[in-house]
Amino acid sequence: MDDHRRKIITYEIKYWKQNRMLPDHYCDFLLNLYTEGSEETELPKQKRPRSITGLGSFILIGLLSLSVFLFYFTELSLFLQTAFIIFFAITTLSTVLYMLKKSFFDLIPLLTSALLLLITSVQAAEIIFPELPLLLYIVAGLNCILWIAAGSKWNMVSFKLSGTLGLIVLVIAIFI
């Protein structure tokens, strides 16, 4: 194979790997195949726009503190609480989906999104089913399981640890 053509192909495969267009093990296999086992220099890392992730972090931390303040330190009507829950859920999910699509794995936005999801889902369970405390445990347990699954998928120790500790605290709270 022509050397110029081989460089183009390996550059494209590295680009696919960097932008997660193919799974890593496929890209590694193709790179080994086209470079015949010799290691070449990596592509320079793309600089991600720090302003976008910084703005997303700022918005999510603001929403987290605002939701804690609104749900636990004020007495709002049921309609307003429901509207805030829906707004926070939509904002959080859209931010997280945007970050996952762009492969921004900053810890602060993901953690604040997870905490916002926990607060809004617990608040929604309290509003919708005030007489069923068992449902509160189920919602908190599902959040912890979601954290463990997210930590396993993206190899994030903080999510695995938070989910595991959350489940332990939940089991202790149920039986004590």
Domain spans in the chain, listed from the N-terminal domain onward:
3-35, 48-128, 130-176
Residue 158 in contact with residue 151, Cβ under 8 Å? yes
pLDDT value for 140:
93
Whether the pLDDT of residue 63 is over 60: the answer is: yes
**DSSP single-letter state for residue 149:** H
**DSSP single-letter state for residue 156:** -
* Tens digits of residue pLDDT in 124-138: 888 888 888 899 999
Whether the pLDDT of residue 145 is over 90: the answer is: yes
pLDDT value for 75:
80
Strand residue runs (E) in 44-86: none
Residues counted in the chain: 176
* Tens digits of residue pLDDT in 30-42: 888 888 776 654 5
Cα four-point dihedral sign 68, 74, 75, 81: negative
Please, which pLDDT band fits residue 44 given cuts at 50, 70 and 90?
very low
Whether the pLDDT of residue 47 is over 60: the answer is: no
The angle that helices 50-72 and 107-128 make with each other, rounded to 10 degrees, is 30
Whether the pLDDT of residue 61 is over 50: the answer is: yes
Q: In terms of pLDDT, which residue wins out, 147 or 105? A: 147
